[in-house]
Structures are given as C-alpha cells and as structure tokens.
Amino acid sequence: MFLTSLAGCGGSAGLREEAQGEEKAAGAPGYRLVDSYRIGVDDTLQVSVWRHEDLSVSVPVRPDGRISVPLGGEVEAAGRYPADVADSIEEKLADYVREPQVAVIVTELNSHDYLSRVRVTGAVASPLSLAYRPGMTVLDLVLEAGGVTEFAAPGRARLYRREGDETGSTRIHLDDILESGDLESNLELRPGDVVTVPERIF
C-alpha cells in the first residue's frame, strides 16, 4: 500500500524527531514530511500522543470534516494543516494530560484522488480519467485513450487548466503532434487538467 507521511507536530522537537524516525522506518516510496498539505474528507490520520499510546489512534476524516480522538472528543480536521489539528488536540488534552505533545500524520490521501487526476474527453476512442503521473504529456493521455477517432478535429484540441479561481484554456495542435511529430504543443500535464478533442464540423 502506498503510504505518504504528511505530518504536523504541535509539541516539542522531541516528538518531531520521533515522527521523522517513523518516516525513515517506513521506507515506502513517497514517504516524506510535508507541512503545507490541507487535510480533506476521507483522508486517514494517525494521531500520536507522545508517551500516551492509549490516546494514539488512526482515524478517518468523516464527511462532516471532523475526527474523534480519545479524551479530546470532536476535532475539526478538513481544510486544516496537520500541525493546526495537532495544536487543537493538544488544547483539548491539556485538561487531562500534563503538557501534551501531539503529532498528526496523514497516512492515506483519499480526498485528493479526484483533484489529482487528468482527463481526456471528446472524439477519442475511449474518453477516460487517469491518476496523474509526473511527466505525463498531452500525447501520453491521448494514447492512453486509444487515440483520436476518424471524426476528430485534432487541430482544435484544447487543454483546460484551473489556476486559482479561474479556468484557462490552451490550443493544442494535436494534428501536428500525431501526424508530423511536432511536439511544440505537447504540453506536460498538471493534476486536474482536462484535454478535449472536438469532432469535425461537416
């Protein structure tokens, strides 16, 4: 199982070192410490309370965006950074544990599967949605879809990409890519990109 560590530590350096030690022990591809990830619904979190294994749990983020932790009760998690969630848990545990030190690690990134996919629609053999892979290009995506159909207008293909709150589009000369090997518009994809191949106008 692919395991990615996205950790936030609300406590001391000792606990942070402990979390980093777990990183090295895991040895899984992509297992790394990241502080800028926003937790989402359906992600799975490992909540570790230093020197209190009985309070340490692995919990999914519920559809309401919350998690339940021993003694701490309900904690808002969705849309927040792991370190912020760790701080909130520490505040709740302070009534029961002396100087609680908490680490929150995202062990399963289920919420971002949809956002990290790339899609191709329109006049291709098999319109599809694929998990994004670094280095993927427009041509890779079109070939995965079985190529264009006989009714396609590849010269009018477009790449749609969301930037902030806006979606922009770029002309893709798919005809040049497929027919003459001109890769000038064979752009590298980003998570969330959509390529559309329209049909010819008869």
pLDDT digits (tens, 9 = 90+) for 59-102: 999 988 899 999 999 999 988 999 999 999 999 999 999 999 99
pLDDT (0 to 100) of residue 8: 67
- Lowest mean per-residue pLDDT among 11-20, 130-139, 193-202: 11-20
Whether 47 and 39 have beta carbons less than 8 Å apart is answered as no
Pairing of strands 157-163, 194-197: antiparallel
- Give the C-alpha separation, 142 to 201, whole Å: 21
Averaged pLDDT for residues 118-143: 93
Give the type of residue at 24: K
Domains and CATH numbers, the chain: 6-108 (3.30.1950.10), 117-197 (3.10.560.10)
Residue 25 has pLDDT above 70, yes or no: no
Question: What is the pTM for the complete model shown?
Answer: 0.50
Averaged pLDDT for residues 97-120: 86
- Confidence band for 105, pLDDT divided at 50, 70 and 90: very high
The Cβ-side half-sphere exposure at 63, using a 13 Å CA radius, reads 0
Whether 8 and 85 have beta carbons less than 8 Å apart is answered as yes
DSSP-derived letter for residue 72 is T
Q: What is the token pair recorded at 74?
A: 């309900």
